[in-house]
Structure 1
Amino acid sequence: MTPRSFAALHARHVWRGTLIAALLNACLYPLDVLRGRDIGPAPWWPVLGASAVGFLIAAFILVVHRRRPQGVHLGSALFILNQAAILASAQIMGPYQLQDPNLIPFQVHKLGALTVAILAPERWAGLLCIFAFALIPVLQFVRLDPAQQARIDTSEPLVLLVYGAVGAVLLLYRLRGLATERALVQAQTEAADARRTARLLLAVRDLSNTPLQVIALASAAARRRSPGLGEPLDRLDRALERLRALHQPLKAYEADLEWRPGDESIDAEAVLAAAGEEARIRRSSASV
């Protein structure tokens, strides 16, 4: 894979994570209205508004981005926007949901921190969202009056911080695994390119052997027939020796190659033709 291919793979990863997060917001977050339906006159528009943001982001990706790919920074920005809409909705709905003693507080923030750890497209965007999901409810808890704080377990701020720490660790572990896989693919690609180059050089060597042998035989025959041509023939022989010396470094490539059945009778012309075709395909794909 070329660096351009790796960049395209990273872009697909960024936009796929943003799309899944937006779809989860658009399809599942409206259920939060049902979760707090017994808490009195709680507004429904914050939840549906956040879901609408997720729907618009998903529609943008499916309609616009697929036709005309956008940059990865925009994908990460839309991911953050999606999480910001959920946070804003949870911030508005929080005081209403605290009126129900049966509701577990800050569920949206805990689930959001773990969801971001799984889907965040980039490290900086993921850590930013995780810290927001973990710290904003803690600040909200601190600003509550004593009567409202009494309805919440005093360990809840610590639990939120634990969720944030776990989410950050999961995010870093996932991204580290992706980076390791990409490095492995890069190493395998470079090794394959090196083997391809070695086969190409060996094919050139094999094709040049016969002309060099013909020139050497012709030089020897000319030396026997015309002894007076010794000086120019000596220069020709020295040039042949230099060409033969170029073959010596290729023996290292030949020893390192993984020979498969049938390679002992390799068709040098076919190897060169295949290399030319691959180069043409790479140039055409790079120009697209």
Structure 2
Amino acid sequence: MKSFILDDKQLATRSTRSYSILALFLLPLSYIIRANDNLPTTPLWYIGLLIVIITFFLTSKYPRLPVKISVTLMITMALFTMLPGSEIAAIGSEHNVQMTYFGTYKFIIVCVALMAPFPHFIGYLLIALCLFIPPMQVLLFSPQIMKLSGQFEPWTTMGYALAGLLILHHRISTLKLHANLVESEAKEKNLRDFADVALALRDLTNTPLQSLDLLTELLRSDKISTQQASELLSKTTYRLRELMQVLSEQQKKLTKQQSLQSMDSMDIIRKTFSTFNDSHKEKN
């Protein structure tokens, strides 16, 4: 049965892959929709080639990259989506073209806020960059660029960033709540499965125990011969031997076999049932 539980590497890789696909298809729109076709597209080709390579790598074999590499790739793509936009806008000002200078920042804010990438700090970091870099760039603007970049910039972009932070925080809180709920339900299901197994074991061992008690009483009263007692004992313990064979086969598959061997079996059972009872009380 396929597991739907993803580890940190898979979550980080999926986030980076989703961002690369979004950038591959949506980012060129900020350069295509413009007023002057004579503006150079060299920066667009640079970033397009980079994102095509990253997207192909992430989607070809579905790798499980280390979290640090996934974070580095996402930050790299984010920076490479910011810089070409700045260059094209600066060139556009020379052609007297009014452009959405901070359009790429808004694109990053919207994508990151809706995606809530993993690890979560990368989302806050990317939106924080989009919050602080635009006002720093404005200080370097020439009067011509200031005139054409928009009357309400960079305040509009900073407003986008603040709204993006709120949306991202809400998304992350919702995802964590959902993850805790799924974990709680999975834990309760495992405990219920264990309880069912324990009850089945009780039923399997109940009849042999009753037979052993009866056999003990018969031996004490000398109402049964040794041969008859041996035959009855063999029949009584048959189910127990069958049960032990099944448990021995499953023991080899346990991932924590050594730790389980160092603990008392009754302690394990008592602890598990105690956890199950506590979970049941909390739910009620």
Relative to the length of structure 2, the TM-score reads 0.70
**What is residue 180 of structure 1 aligned with on the other side?**
177
Conserved? CA contact 2:9–2:64, under 8 Å? no
**What is residue 58 of structure 1 aligned with on the other side?**
55
Shift of 1:80: 1.4
Q: What are the Cα deviations for residues 168-216 of structure 1, in whole angstroms up to 9, with x where unaligned?
A: 1222222222222221111111111111111111111111211221122
**What is residue 198 of structure 1 aligned with on the other side?**
195
Alignment of 1:238-249 (within 5 A): none
Shift of 1:55: 0.6
Query: Are positions 1:88 and 2:83 aligned together?
Result: yes
Residue among 12, 15, 25 paired with 2:13: 15
Q: What are the Cα deviations for residues 3-33 of structure 1, in whole angstroms up to 9, with x where unaligned?
A: x96443x443322232222123233333444
Shift of 1:102: 4.2
**What is residue 163 of structure 1 aligned with on the other side?**
160
Q: Distance in 2 between matches of 1:270 and 1:197?
A: 19
**What is residue 26 of structure 2 aligned with on the other side?**
28
Conserved? CA contact 1:203–1:272, under 8 Å? no
Q: Distance in 2 between matches of 1:22 and 1:12?
A: 15
Shift of 1:46: 0.9
Alignment of 1:1-288 (within 5 A): 6-8=5-7, 10-36=8-34, 38=36, 42-63=39-60, 65-66=61-62, 68-98=63-93, 100=96, 102-119=98-115, 120-225=117-222
Shift of 1:43: 2.7
Q: Distance in 1 between matches of 2:151 and 2:20?
A: 33
Give 5+ residue unaligned stretches, structure 2. Answer: 224-239, 256-284
Conserved? CA contact 2:114–2:168, under 8 Å? yes
Deviates more, 1:22-31 or 1:109-118: 22-31
Distance 1:279 1:130, change over 3 A: farther
- CA RMSD in angstroms comes to 3.3
Q: What is the identity, as a one-letter code, of the residue corresponding to 2:121?
A: W
Distance 1:275 1:109, change over 3 A: farther
1:103 aligned counterpart, secondary structure: coil
Q: Distance in 2 between matches of 1:196 and 1:272?
A: 19
2:148 aligned counterpart, secondary structure: coil
Aligned pair count? 236
2:221 aligned counterpart, secondary structure: helix
Q: Distance in 1 between matches of 2:118 and 2:72?
A: 10
Q: What is the identity, as a one-letter code, of the residue corresponding to 1:159?
A: T
Conserved? CA contact 1:199–1:271, under 8 Å? no
Distance 1:31 1:103, change over 3 A: same
Q: Distance in 1 between matches of 2:13 and 2:211?
A: 61
Q: What is the identity, as a one-letter code, of the residue corresponding to 1:217?
A: L
1:150 aligned counterpart, secondary structure: helix
